[in-house]
Structure 1
Amino acid sequence: MKTRAVYNWLLNIQSKRCMLCLASADTGRELCHACHLDLPWLGPHCRVCALPLPNEGQLCGQCQTSPPGFARVIAPFRYAFPLDSLIPAFKYHQQFAFGRLMAELLAEAIAAEYDDAGPVECLVPLPLHHRRQARRGFNQATELARPIAGALGLPLLPKALQRVKASESQLGLAAADRRRNLHDAFRCPAAPLIEGRHVALLDDVVTTGATVRAASRTLLEAGAREVSVWCVARTP
């Protein structure tokens, strides 16, 4: 029996393949070392909103002229290949294995930044409007947040924030139009759960930052002491 158990364990290890190139996975997850190195790591970025910049430690123009409300964005990657394929496959085609991989990578980045969860006291996934979630069948932010909350030992509050305005898609909108599109888009029906706490707001991608700015503002107005944003990728 012991020999068979060892054989099955070895077979399982050998059968794990990299999701990106199908080589043997040798990183402790379904990713090989070479593909892990080739991921579009963020590099130098704005110290508040994580916008990619030429030099580390700078503050982007938007954060200088219009501070966002949230304390900082943690994003390990730029939104570039292969994440610009993996994230849509997860969101729109229910490829949950890709979501699991991205949650593992994000949890690792957060732990490196904070020494585990550090000062953050609870985790709130960015909500979808209920009609969009019904069409999609799930909220990708919640699916990412569940394993991260478990890994970091954080309370997960999936109903602390609601999207009450079925705004049009943000794709293709100018920054000012995005802000107007998100006016009064969120509400916080569970203010006592976040009052006085440092909240991490989690989403898959931060593009212009308009959505997480609006959601952060709602959380702060409801009594959150501080809001940080965690996401898998930041657009250039």
Structure 2
Amino acid sequence: MSGKHPLYQIMQRLPGTCQVCGRWPSMPVCTTCETRHAPPAPRCPTCARRLPPGSAHCGACLTQSAGGGPTYLHALVAAVDYAYPWDGLIARFKFRGEPGWAGPLATLMLRQPGGRELLGTCDVMVPVPVTASRLAERGYNQSWELIKALRRQAPDTRALALADALVRIGNAPDQHPLPREQRLRNLQGSFVTHPQHVARLRKTHVLLVDDVSTTGTTLNAAAQALLQAGAGRVSALVLARTSVH
């Protein structure tokens, strides 16, 4: 059933069983589980990694900045750590044909510090694209589903949502098990801006949306392509950040 269907939207608001603790009645994730497993936490504004007390940036980003390494993202905000129970729910959303999770997960993204602020300051929202073969396999791009859910829950946003502003070319292997250096090599030239949208992106603040950030290489590669097309600034909002850097 389409996410735009009135019956689907009603069903999304009806109580059911919490998919983490099993409590009933509840929304898909109950308030107790959300409070327990998604507490606000200080994060590095560059990579969204958790920060130790008193730190403004993580050590890895400070080292990279001191070494002159390229960073194309202006800011990166993550709602939660990629850990229990979110890793399992993301797997259901991403790999098991359950796009309805976009709504509850988008709610989580908006409730965490910085999420709603980014949504309010961006001009354009762009999903991180998947390859054509992966899209055919899944039937949807989970990042685009998140954008649609974010816009439904923040209807006052003025941002333009462009599903195909970025195109992913080639079929690089899955990034998850690879070290950072190999990720960078895999993603060089993997993203291009759709010619139809270049004029709409020029001098804008673009917000990239994705489900998970591991090392930030995918987001930086996508941001680089947008900046090369004339975007003025690129930030990113993701649901989860892994502990890997």
- The TM-score normalised by the length of structure 2 is 0.83
**Runs of at least 5 residues in structure 2 that lack an aligned partner in the other structure:** 1-11
2: CA distance, partners of 1:57 / 1:229? 21
1:228 aligns with 2:221: no
Secondary structure in 1 matching 2:101: helix
Q: 1:229 to 1:57 in 2, by over 3 A?
A: farther
**Contact residue 49 and residue 63 of structure 1 kept, 8 A:** yes
Question: How far 1:31 moved relative to its partner?
Answer: 2.7
Verify: 1:211 aligned to 2:213, yes or no.
no
Taking structure 1 as reference, are residues 86 and 200 closer, same or farther at Cα in structure 2, changes over 3 Å only?
A: same
How far 1:220 sits from its partner (Å)? 0.8
Q: CA deviation at 1:57?
A: 4.3
3-state SS in 1 of match to 2:218? helix
Tell me whether 1:73 sits opposite 2:76 in the alignment. Answer: yes
AA matched with 1:143: E
8 Å CA contact 1:49–1:209 kept in 2: the answer is yes
Indicate yes or no: 2:102 matched with 1:104. Answer: no
Deviation, structure 1 residue 223: 0.8
Aligned position for 2:169: 164
Q: Cα gap change, 1:62/1:213 in structure 2, threshold over 3 Å: closer, same or farther? A: farther
For structure 1, list consecutive stretches of 5 or more residues without a partner in the other structure.
Answer: 1-11
Report the CA distance shift for 1:117/1:56 in structure 2 as closer, same or farther (over 3 A): farther
Deviation at 1:13, TM superposition (A): 8.3
Partners of 1:134 and 1:18 lie apart in 2 by 31
> Where do residues 118-129 of structure 1 align in structure 2 (5 Å cutoff)?
118-129=120-131
Distance 1:125 1:88 in 2: 18
Structure 1's 225 and 25: CA in aligned 2 closer, same or farther, altered over 3 A?
farther
Q: Deviations over 1:25-84 (max 9, x none)?
A: 56xx43322111112446232121111232354222342323521111111101010011
TM-fit CA distance, 1:118: 2.7
> What residue number does 1:140 align with?
142
- Per-residue Cα deviation, 1:122-164 (whole angstroms, up to 9, x for no partner): 1000000111111121111011111112333332101110001
* In structure 1, C-alpha distance between the alignment counterparts of 2:136 and 2:115, rounded to whole Å: 35
1:176 aligns with 2:181: yes
| Match in the other structure for 1:17 | 17
Structure 1, residues 173-214: CA drift from partner, whole Å, max 9, x if none? 111100000010000012111111101000000001110010
Percent identity (aligned): 32
Instruction: Give the Cα–Cα distance (whole angstroms) in 1 for the partners of residues 186 and 115 of structure 2.
Output: 35
Contact 1:149 1:155 (8 Å CA) reproduced: no
> Could you say if the C-alpha distance between residues 211 and 13 of structure 1 is closer, same or farther in structure 2, counting changes exceeding 3 Å?
closer
Deviation at 1:14, TM superposition (A): 8.2
CA contact (8 A) 1:73 1:229 kept: yes
Distance 1:117 1:54 in 2: 26
Instruction: Give CA deviations for 1:82-121 in whole Å, capped at 9, x if unaligned.
Output: 011010111110123333210121133377651x733211
Question: What is the one-letter code of the residue matched to 1:21?
Answer: C
From the superposition, tell whether residues 36 and 25 of structure 1 become closer, same or farther in structure 2 (CA, over 3 Å).
Answer: farther
- Kept in 2, the 8 Å contact 1:40–1:81? The answer is no
Aligned to 1:9: none
Give the alignment's TM-score, normalised by structure 1.
Answer: 0.85
RMSD across aligned positions (CA): 2.2
Question: What is the one-letter code of the residue matched to 1:145?
Answer: I
How many residue pairs get matched? Answer: 222
1:168: Cα distance to partner? 1.2
Q: Tell me the SS of whatever aligns to 1:117.
A: helix
